[in-house]
Amino acid sequence: MNRLLLFLLWATLASAAGCSAGSTCRHLTGAALGTTYSIITCNNNNNNNDTLQDEVVELMQRVEKSLSIYDKASIISKVNRNEDVALDGYFIECFEVARQVSKQTGGAFDISGSPLYAAWGFGANEHLTPPSRQQIDSLKQLCGMSKLSIVNGHLVKSDPRVQLNANAVAKGYAVDVVARFLEGKNITSYMVEIGGEVRCGSVKPNGAKWTIGIDSPRDGNFTPGADLASILEISDRAVATSGSYRRFYMSGAEKIPHIINPATGCPARNSLLSATVAAGSCAAADAYATAFMVMGVDSAKALLDRDSELEGFLIFSEQQQLRTYATPKFKDWLIKK
């Protein structure tokens, strides 16, 4: 599942990073994980570390080799083919995040929904033909995190037909992997963005927080940053946004969005247009944002109210008007409301 992009605001590297005398800032950009990445790092030792970008790219490639359904040689692809493959640390850690979020959301987030995603045209082989009701009912029987467990470093399925798709959490997880790597190099002031999922370290060298924009979820807003709904300033947080207004196809007069409700087996349809979640890890923010799109406004609000580890910003339709809801702390971060 492709994720909605959070548009990162910077005019120049110096202004974005807030570099000051005695500090070194770098802006790394490129392509990885089937998308683009943009990373700003700041430190105070004037060490440019010429190998940093190569090391970061290698890390992202390792995550891809573990969790990409588009790589036939990846661990997740081998798991889907029921090959006897040992899981690596990336797979196990990401799987545990997915399992926890699935539990907390009553199954609204489910990486075992791969057969359903593929049937609706959002798997490794995309197509524009919706499945029949009979197909949906049959494939729903193959979904459910309860059908999966990790035993001695291997994934065990209660039904060999169960298949995984971790796209709704993998990019966020890759952000966490890169962020931890930077922190291991004593780079604590950074912003890591992969495919729109973001994690920010400590404040910039000049003491300012990192600035992130949230796109307006209106139909036709295909260019990240062209139309912003809100702007926030944060540090020491991860942020991810999910929505259904960019990735979809038309089947006759019907719009088929890419986010699938595991309970119904059909695309999620409710008044929620965009969900932005801030959490301690980007993997969790990524997964919860997707789950909220399935759950709808009221259930998303209820979960945000009872989970002190999450903050959120919801954009929804009410009486043909765009409305917003922000948790109190998230509201404090907004500089454009």
* 86 pLDDT more than 50: yes
Lowest mean pLDDT among 50-54, 254-258, 323-327: 254-258
Q: Measured between alpha carbons, how far is 188 from 172 in angstroms, rounded to an integer?
A: 18
Length of the chain: 337
Virtual torsion, Cα 269, 275, 280, 283, nearest 10 deg: 50
Domains in the chain with CATH codes: 73-167 (1.10.3980.10)
Q: Measured between alpha carbons, how far is 319 from 296 in angstroms, rounded to an integer?
A: 16
Q: Measured between alpha carbons, how far is 243 from 294 in angstroms, rounded to an integer?
A: 10
* pLDDT in the model for residue 228: 79
Q: Measured between alpha carbons, how far is 166 from 81 in angstroms, rounded to an integer?
A: 15
Q: Measured between alpha carbons, how far is 199 from 197 in angstroms, rounded to an integer?
A: 7
**Joined tokens for residue 184:** 């291991």
Neighbours of 52 (CB within 10 A): 18
Q: Measured between alpha carbons, how far is 169 from 109 in angstroms, rounded to an integer?
A: 10
Smallest CA-to-CA distance from 164 within 113, 223, 216 is with 113
Question: How many angstroms separate the first and last alpha carbons of the chain?
Answer: 28
* 82 pLDDT more than 70: yes
Q: How sure is the predictor about 193, in pLDDT bands with cuts at 50, 70 and 90?
A: very high
Q: What is the mean pLDDT of residues 282-307?
A: 97
Q: Measured between alpha carbons, how far is 208 from 191 in angstroms, rounded to an integer?
A: 13
Give me the DSSP letters along 37-66: EEEEEEESS----TTHHHHHHHHHHHHHHH
pTM (2 decimals)?
Answer: 0.91
Instruction: List, for residues 240-260, the tens digit of each pLDDT value.
Output: 999 876 677 777 777 777 889
Lowest mean pLDDT among 126-130, 131-135, 185-189: 126-130
Higher pLDDT, 224 or 140: 140
* 190 pLDDT more than 90: yes
In sequence order, the 6+-apart residues with CB closer than 8 A to the CB of 281 are 97, 172, 176, 199, 238
Q: Measured between alpha carbons, how far is 272 from 318 in angstroms, rounded to an integer?
A: 9
Q: 198, 191 in Cβ contact below 8 A?
A: yes
The structure tokens 């990373």 sit at: 39
Q: Measured between alpha carbons, how far is 31 from 24 in angstroms, rounded to an integer?
A: 23
Q: 12, 204 in Cβ contact below 8 A?
A: no
* pLDDT in the model for residue 46: 47
* 223 pLDDT more than 60: no
Instruction: List, for residues 57-76, the tens digit of each pLDDT value.
Output: 999 999 999 999 999 999 99
**Joined tokens for residue 93:** 């850690």
* pLDDT in the model for residue 3: 39
Give the H or E element holding residue 171.
Answer: helix 167-184
* pLDDT in the model for residue 297: 97
